[in-house]
């Protein structure tokens, strides 16, 4: 059974499943990179009118749409697409971790502490809103992160980044001065 949850971004909706959607971690796919994708489920979903971006995670996927389509029109199509997939396939939509970029461990203790705070304290909260946050770099006190899924282009994402992410990182990792989205 597929359930939906709203997100802070009115153009994004979270679709929850009791099935594992991604065994490869959280991964984002954008309509403008459609020809680079080999996964037929994701290709078909991104081909739906109005769908701009899809984020897959362990037990949910987020769909970000444009203003060309309403949720009343799009939501049943996404639910049907998910149900059809799981009726005909036993495994997850994303099956393995190959070609998935993971930051992993660094030789830099500060970077490892930043990643630990992102993974343990921030990522779960962002996932509840249908998004993800990925560490990109740390240099001269500035942490650069990438916001994905529902968080990408969300009206409240800048406030979340500055008041939430930045404050938490500054509290737990004294070397952090600020956080920026890339």
Domain that holds residue 161: 109-181
Asked whether residue 102 is domain-assigned, the answer is no
Most confident of 39-43, 71-75, 126-130, 140-144: 71-75
> Exposure of 81 by Cβ count < 10 A (0-12 exposed, 13-18 middle, 19+ buried)?
middle
Name beta bridge partners: 131: 149
Indicate the DSSP class of residue 1: -
Domain boundary among 88, 117, 132: 88
* Same domain assignment for residues 14 and 83: yes
* Same domain assignment for residues 57 and 117: no
* Same domain assignment for residues 123 and 79: no
Asked whether residue 14 is domain-assigned, the answer is yes
pLDDT higher than 70, residue 107: no
Residue 148 pLDDT class (50, 70, 90 cuts): confident
Burial of 36-52, coded b for 16+ CB within 10 Å and e otherwise, reads: eeeeebbeebbebebbb
Residue 97 pLDDT class (50, 70, 90 cuts): low
Look up the CATH number of the domain holding residue 114: 3.30.300.130
Single pTM value for the model: 0.69
Domain count, the chain: 2
> Exposure of 99 by Cβ count < 10 A (0-12 exposed, 13-18 middle, 19+ buried)?
exposed
pLDDT higher than 90, residue 151: no
> Which helix H or strand E contains 43, and what residues bound it?
helix 40-47
């Amino acid at each position: 059974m597929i359930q939906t949850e709203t997100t802070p971004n009115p153009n994004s909706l979270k679709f929850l499943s009791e099935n594992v959607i991604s065994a490869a971690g959280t991964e984002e796919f954008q309509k403008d990179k459609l020809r680079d994708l080999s996964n037929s489920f994701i290709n078909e979903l991104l081909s739906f009118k109005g769908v701009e971006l899809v984020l897959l995670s362990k037990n949910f996927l987020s769909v970000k749409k444009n203003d060309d389509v309403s949720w009343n029109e799009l939501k049943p199509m996404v639910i049907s697409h998910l149900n059809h997939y799981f009726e005909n396939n036993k495994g997850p939509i994303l099956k393995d971790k190959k070609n998935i970029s993971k930051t992993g461990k660094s030789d830099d203790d500060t970077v490892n502490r930043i990643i630990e705070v992102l993974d343990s304290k921030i990522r779960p909260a962002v996932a509840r809103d249908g998004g993800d946050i990925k560490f990109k770099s740390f240099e001269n006190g500035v942490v650069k992160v990438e916001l994905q899924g529902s968080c990408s282009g969300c009206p409240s994402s800048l406030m979340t980044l500055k008041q939430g992410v930045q404050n938490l990182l500054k509290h737990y990792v004294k070397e952090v001065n600020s956080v920026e989205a890339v």
